[in-house]
């Protein structure tokens, strides 16, 4: 939940901000004399469309594609409720089709953002800024365009590269490796033109949720860590180099308390945030409490609104939270429930089911009730199955009208960068010294563990890194990316009484091009297997 200044800067809706859903943008949507921004306020409102588009879909459909397709989260039906046409079980069992609603929504969302960026590049060049101001603003827009292309690269792989506005002709599908090279070249070109995280609080507030040098370095580290997945050669030394570039800025550091990163009042004061998406209760998108909380606990947490009781994690994923002293374990609700203490822990006061003296007890095991597919049933007992997440801590001011959280959602943060560096070294890169510290994988992992209060590791293997990332980055939309890189995206986690099977085809490491887009643009090529 942020100051109004940040929200106004990043979230003002410009006319038609998300109307350009297709690649063949109609000519009448161009800026002409009658609607060309005339004042700086008009221009900033147009620029805000890039960010309002980003927040509109990231924390729900984008997050679901990256997370519900893994062991990290599951959204089962409950006696038919929350089935929603089978879209969640299709993600869980890897049986989605080119007509899956999230597949279409996120394709259109990303290209809507890219179209807005391309349009604003034209506007910026014609607006009358000084050369220095123009360069800064063009760099910001291009960096956001590169981020949108990264989302497409990771999810769909082979996609059109559209850099002109208006679009002429029918943009053709480009190989994943070409999209990778485009993103890399854009980010490298922008590095000297973007601001760095500052020690000045006012400056950081102004920059918050906007691209900085740190975003470029961290996103390049992601590209290089996944280079072989994306069709390139191994780039592990470059991962280390980019991680060290982030650490070279002393204004990035691990926050003392893990929980602070995800509270409803998180924001520019979080030291390790590299790039986050701001949310408040009026900005569509952040619905973690609405979908992932446990309804019967609302009064204990200080609010009382209608929630869905639907989403949880799998027993296998929760089992990774097994380190003695690890605060991150308390970000899950499992077992007997107690009133929270307001400081990230719990009192000794039990919480009871309504109108009973029975303590609420959340069972990690998800036992299906056939014949309805991926259905738990809808009794009090079955509603209590599935570990719930309070990582994005429930907002006590949540209101019935929207049921939205005010927690910002981090996209890239320092802890992730340190874990990427550790993994890259385990994969063959050399350890480097930062300050006077030789940062071996064990040193880096123990930095993360120590902050969480977890028992320190005595050794670390590459396989162990996947569990370290699971514990630190749960529900931050990186699990699919990690599982694919580790060759484990096709691992199945059968539920008791399950009558369905996962499709373990490796072609599903990419999502398909949506059917409607193929019909609109004959130059598009469907991904293999669909």
- Residue 11 has a pLDDT of 38
Q: Is the pLDDT reported for residue 74 higher than 90?
A: yes
Q: Dump the DSSP string for 202-222.
A: HHHHHHTTS--HHHHHHHHHH
Nearest residue to 344 (alpha-carbon basis) of 330, 334, 332: 330
pLDDT digits (tens, 9 = 90+) for 193-226: 999 999 999 999 999 999 999 999 999 999 999 9
- For the segment 65-74, the average pLDDT, to the nearest whole number, is 98
Q: What range defines the domain where residue 152 resides? A: 36-75+87-187
Q: What mean pLDDT is predicted for residues 263-268?
A: 94
Give the least confident one: 92-96, 285-289, 333-337: 285-289
| Nearest to 365, CA basis, from 351, 378, 384 | 384
What is the per-residue pLDDT for 2? Answer: 52
The answer to whether the beta carbons of residues 331 and 391 sit under 8 Å apart is yes
Tell me: pLDDT of 288 over 80: yes
Evaluate if residue 26 carries a pLDDT over 70: no
Rounded mean pLDDT of the chain?
92
CA distance 286 to 31: 32
- Residue 65: CATH number of its domain: 1.25.40.390
Judge whether residue 304 has pLDDT over 50.
yes
Last-in-domain residue among 334, 367, 389: 389
Asked if the structure places residue 383 within a domain, the reply is yes
pLDDT confidence of 486, banded at 50, 70, 90?
A: very high
Tell me what pLDDT residue 36 has: 67
335 pLDDT exceeds 90?
Answer: yes
Residue 13 scores a pLDDT above 90: no
Domain tally, the chain:
2
Same domain, 293 and 181: no
218 within a domain of the structure (yes/no): no
Identify which has the larger pLDDT, 127 or 324: 324
Same-domain pairing of 41 and 177: yes
Which H helix or E strand runs over 410?
A: strand 409-413
Domain boundary among 331, 359, 389: 389
Average pLDDT (276-283) is 87
The pLDDT value recorded for residue 17 is: 34
Residue range 297-310: average pLDDT? 88
67 lies in some domain: yes
Structure-token match 């000084």, residue found: 130
User: Helix, strand, coil shares of the chain as percentages rounded to 5?
Assistant: 45, 10, 50
Q: What is the pLDDT of residues 353-373, one digit of tens each?
A: 999 999 999 999 999 999 999
């Amino acid at each position: 939940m942020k100051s109004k200044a940040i929200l106004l800067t990043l979230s003002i809706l410009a006319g038609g901000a998300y109307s350009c859903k297709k690649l063949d943008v109609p000519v009448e949507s161009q800026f002409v004399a009658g609607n060309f921004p005339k004042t700086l306020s008009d221009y900033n409102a147009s620029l805000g469309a890039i960010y309002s588009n980003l927040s509109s879909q990231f924390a729900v459909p984008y997050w679901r594609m990256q997370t519900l397709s893994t062991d990290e989260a599951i959204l089962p039906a409950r006696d038919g409720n929350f089935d929603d046409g089978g879209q969640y079980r299709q993600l869980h069992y890897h049986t989605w089709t080119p007509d899956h609603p999230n597949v279409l929504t996120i394709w259109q969302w990303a290209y809507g953002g890219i179209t807005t960026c391309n349009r604003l590049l034209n506007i910026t060049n014609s607006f009358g800024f000084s050369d220095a101001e123009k360069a800064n603003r063009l760099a910001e827009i291009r960096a956001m365009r590169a981020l949108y292309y990264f989302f497409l690269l990771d999810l769909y792989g082979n996609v059109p590269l559209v850099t002109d506005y208006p679009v002429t002709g029918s943009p053709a599908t480009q190989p994943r490796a070409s999209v990778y090279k485009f993103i890399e070249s854009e980010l490298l070109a922008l590095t000297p033109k973007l601001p760095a995280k500052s020690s000045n609080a006012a400056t950081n507030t102004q920059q918050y949720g906007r691209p900085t040098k740190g975003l470029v370095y961290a996103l390049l580290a992601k590209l290089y860590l996944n280079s072989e997945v994306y069709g390139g050669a191994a780039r592990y030394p470059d991962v280390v180099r980019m991680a060290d570039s982030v650490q070279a800025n002393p204004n990035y550091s691990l926050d003392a308390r893990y929980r602070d990163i995800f509270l409803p009042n998180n924001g520019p004061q979080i030291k390790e945030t590299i790039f986050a998406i701001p949310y408040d209760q009026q900005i569509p998108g952040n619905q973690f409490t609405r979908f992932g909380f446990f309804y019967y606990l609302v009064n204990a947490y200080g609010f009382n609104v209608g929630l869905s009781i639907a989403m949880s994690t799998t027993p296998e994923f929760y089992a990774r939270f097994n380190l003695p002293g690890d605060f991150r374990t308390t970000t899950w609700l499992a077992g007997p429930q107690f009133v929270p203490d307001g400081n990230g822990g719990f009192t000794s006061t039990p919480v009871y089911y309504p109108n009973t003296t029975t303590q609420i007890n959340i069972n990690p095991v998800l036992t299906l009730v056939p014949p309805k597919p991926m259905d738990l049933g809808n009794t009090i007992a079955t509603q209590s199955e599935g570990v719930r997440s309070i990582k994005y801590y429930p907002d006590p001011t949540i209101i019935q009208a929207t049921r939205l959280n005010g927690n910002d959602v981090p996209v890239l943060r320092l802890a992730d960068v340190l874990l990427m560096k550790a993994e890259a070294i385990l994969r063959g890169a050399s350890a480097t010294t930062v300050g006077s510290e030789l940062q071996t994988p064990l040193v880096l992992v123990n930095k993360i563990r120590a902050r969480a209060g977890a028992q320190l590791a005595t050794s670390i293997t590459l396989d162990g890194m996947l569990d370290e990332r699971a514990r630190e980055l749960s529900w931050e939309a990186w699990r699919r990316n990690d599982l694919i890189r580790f060759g484990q995206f096709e691992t199945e986690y059968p539920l008791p009484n399950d009558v369905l099977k996962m499709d373990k085809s490796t072609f599903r490491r990419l999502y398909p091009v949506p059917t409607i887009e193929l019909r609109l643009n004959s130059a598009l090529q469907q991904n293999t297997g669909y």
